[in-house]
A and B are shown apart, each in its own frame.
Chain A
Amino acid sequence: MKTKVRQLLEEGRVDAFLAYKTIHGVPFPTLFTKENVDELEEWAPFKARYPVTKILLAQARQNPGKTFGVLVRGCEERSLYELFKWNQLSPDKVVVLGQACTEDLALYCECKKPFPDQLDYGEAPAPVPRSRRLEELEAMPETDRLQWWLSHFNRCIRCHGCRDVCPVCFCTECSLEHKELIPARKLPPDSSFHLVRAVHMAGRCIDCGLCEETCPAGIPLRALYKRVNDLVENIFDYQTGVPDGKSPFSMLGDESFLPAGPR
């Protein structure tokens, strides 16, 4: 990591590079420039995860002329693809170096692609194509599933952590704060809170799982959004987190691909 990032900075290909620095034994996302290039460390696999592309987005918005580099995992690269597609970041202003995740992280995440396309560091572990958590939920009878979700939804403390950490939540005005749709000053919020967020994650969530990890109430949000995007894939044959295509909800007209079957 040291050499590649140093080279990018010194050749002027990036103005700053978002990587990690160990503080008290824990890697923290850190912005490296020519000034602190000597503090760069050697790459080694680690488990800590951060919304790095969200940090990148904030930096890019503040410094529109600058080019940034970033070290990404599989899911973080997927979020970059989405941010490009949704016109939040410009691909020619971002330089990517990639790292693979460890096998146990992949298993924990039930991750379909635990490595980025651009792989510079580490060995790609085997993908985990099936989600056991999701299959269990699918197998539940409808009424049980409702009770199951309600028992989780009703622990929500409305901290908005799930939204704030999400690398593909980029809106400046948020439907979760719509006072009619999700009645204000109610704790826990009504179920519409979670359903509205699920609608917004359709065709967008890249399954990083940060929302679920952040949630202080331990709500299994990842399963909800995983399912939402399975739906998008099944109905529209569209996958999130890949470089090509556009969300079926973002376009009308000839480009639109209608679901198959009788209408």
Chain B
Amino acid sequence: MQNPFEPKILAFLCNWCSYAGADLAGVSRLQYPPNIRVVRVMCSGTVSPHHVIHAFQRGADGVLVAGCHIGDCHYLKGNYMTLKRMKFVQELIRFAGYNPERFRLEWISSAEGVKFAEVVRDFTEKVRSLGPAPSFEASPRLAMGL
């Protein structure tokens, strides 16, 4: 029998807010699905569209980027860049034909452990309902319309 689909979700969390929020969720023993793998970054503004594309390239079914709320970034305006880039990359993947709901941007502060757990729960369910992400792997067969 086939195993039920378990989505793989990669999360980029900024060190100062969202990672601390995730930590708080852990310390508070809040339940959230284990489908998420975390990459800690110093600021969400360091996440390039390349990282998002690379995550999908390597088989992620969903990608979450989370940082401090606008105005709270520890590098002042790092998350302005995050907002610009992520809004763009989401539209780009939509135009390429990938479901933009596989990507999510959230602002989660270090006090928002509850929000972190909720986001992860909600996003995991969303991605689960979408099924496995279409592969970025090349296939010459596709070029022939097979």
Q: From A175, A256, A259, give the contact of B50 (CB < 8 A).
A: A175
* Interface residue ranges of A139-165 to B (CB < 8 Å): 142-156
Query: Contacts of A182 on B, CB cut-off 8 Å?
Result: 57
Are B57 and A192 in contact, with the CB atoms below 8 A? yes
Also in contact, A155 and B54, with CB within 8 A (given A146-B97, A190-B137, A263-B83): no
Q: B139, A199: Cβ atoms under 8 Å?
A: no
Cβ–Cβ contact A154 & B143, under 8 A:
yes
Task: Please report the total number of A residues contacting B with Cβ < 8 Å.
Answer: 51
A-side binding surface: helix, strand, loop or mixed?
A: helix
Instruction: Contact check, A142 vs B94: say whether CB atoms are below 8 A apart.
Output: yes
B140 x A154 contact (CB < 8 A): yes
Work out how many contacts link A and B, with CB atoms closer than 8 A: 125
Determine if A192 and B99 form an interchain contact, defined as CB atoms under 8 angstroms apart: no
Within 8 A of B (CB), among A191-228: 191-192, 194-196, 198-199, 202, 224, 227-228
Instruction: Compute how far the CA of A154 lies from the CA of B91 in the bound complex, rounded to whole angstroms.
Output: 22
A232 within 8 A of B: yes
Q: Which residues of B contact A156 (CB under 8 A)?
A: 138
Query: CB of A58 within 8 A of chain B?
Result: no
Which of the candidate stretches A15-23, A78-86, A116-124, A247-255 sits at the interface with the other chain? A247-255
CB of B146 to closest CB in A, whole Å: 10
Q: Which of chain B's residues 49-68 have a Cβ closer than 8 Å to chain A?
A: 49-50, 53-54, 56-57
Smallest CB-CB separation from B97: which chain A residue? A146
Residue of A nearest to B85 (CB): A249
Contact A259 B136 (CB under 8 A): no
* Cα distance, A228 to B85, chains bound together (Å): 12
A149 touches B136 (CB 8 A): no
A95 interface residue per 8 A CB criterion: no
B142 touches A146 (CB 8 A): no
**Residues of B bordering A, CB below 8 Å:** 45, 49-50, 53-54, 56-57, 70, 76-78, 80-81, 83-85, 87-89, 91-99, 107, 134, 136-143, 145
Would you mind naming 26 contact pairs between A and B with Cβ atoms under 8 Å apart? A138-B95, A142-B94, A142-B99, A143-B97, A146-B98, A146-B134, A151-B142, A154-B138, A154-B139, A154-B142, A187-B140, A190-B57, A190-B136, A191-B136, A191-B138, A192-B57, A195-B93, A199-B49, A227-B95, A228-B92, A231-B95, A235-B84, A252-B45, A253-B77, A254-B77, A256-B77
Ranked 8 nearest A-B pairs via Cβ: A146-B97, A154-B143, A145-B97, A154-B142, A191-B136, A155-B143, A188-B138, A192-B57
